[in-house]
Amino acid sequence: GDGSARIRDLEGRRVLVTAGGTREPLDPVRYIGNRSSGKQGVAIASAARDRGAHVTLIAAHVEVGLPEGVDVVRVETAAELLAATTVAAPENDLTVMAAAVSDYRPVSVSDSKIKKTATGERLTLELVQNPDILATISAGPRDGRLVVGFAAETADTREELLALGRAKIARKGCDFLVVNGVGWSTGFATESNTVLVLDAAGAIVVEASGSKTSVADDILGVFAAALSGAP
């Protein structure tokens, strides 16, 4: 609701949010990207600021305006996002990895524009895997600092969505995973969202549905409570 802006449960906390889609260059004019708009991550950064936090937003490609009153670091590739995030995460009480990170990047980037070859000929791109930023920052001692991941999954049923989410949080080692179902027309670039949040044991701690702003507020309430040691 609109009373949420008056909740100051992140006062004195430092919050890091990554948002948007990374882009992996192929040549000077082309890249491999994804359909993330960055809206949910930007909404989380704004909501955390409104709840009193000092917010750092690491923004890959985002299709919405960047919020006022937060420190912004711009990145393009997964490698740049990894570098910025591994430096900033240890300085923050809460890190929310809402960015859509490209799983792969081209083996090599061409210095000149890749030319079309003979008519009708196929082109094969060779890709290598990017490092897993969320797993990297989740590993090792964290002294009470929280790390939250996001997972957009294409699942036909809620059960399947839950199973995918539970397997993913076990792999990543983060404290919470925000899971949402996506398809060709839902999740990305839309105004609203429906998510469920899993804890490290795979239990559902909250379900939130509505505008990306209200979803941001609902899930931040859970993370703020966890930071202050509430059950």
Binding residues: 103, 113, 131-134, 150, 168, 172
Q: Is 103 in the site for Ca ion (CB under 5 A)?
A: yes
Stretch that binds ligand CTP, among 6-14, 38-46, 115-123, 127-135 (CB under 6 A): 127-135
Separation between Cα atoms, residue 59 and residue 62, nearest integer Å: 7
Residue 67 near residue 57, CB atoms below 8 Å: yes
Q: Is 173 in the site for ligand CTP (CB under 6 A)?
A: no
Q: Is 103 in the site for ligand CTP (CB under 6 A)?
A: yes
Q: Is 149 in the site for ligand CTP (CB under 6 A)?
A: yes
Separation between Cα atoms, residue 222 and residue 219, nearest integer Å: 5
> In terms of CB distance, is 9 or 103 closer to Ca ion?
103
In Å, how far from its chain's centre is CA 79? 15
In this chain, which of 101, 146, 215, 224 binds ligand CTP, going by CB under 6 A?
Answer: 101
Q: Which residue reads 């955390």 in tokens?
A: 48
**Closest Cα to residue 38, out of 66, 4, 71?**
66
Other CB atoms closer than 10 Å to residue 173's CB: what's the count? 18
Closest separation between CB of residue 216 and Ca ion, Å?
22
Residues of this chain that interact with ligand CTP (CB under 6 A) are: 78, 97, 99, 101, 103, 130, 132-134, 149-151
Active site residues: 34
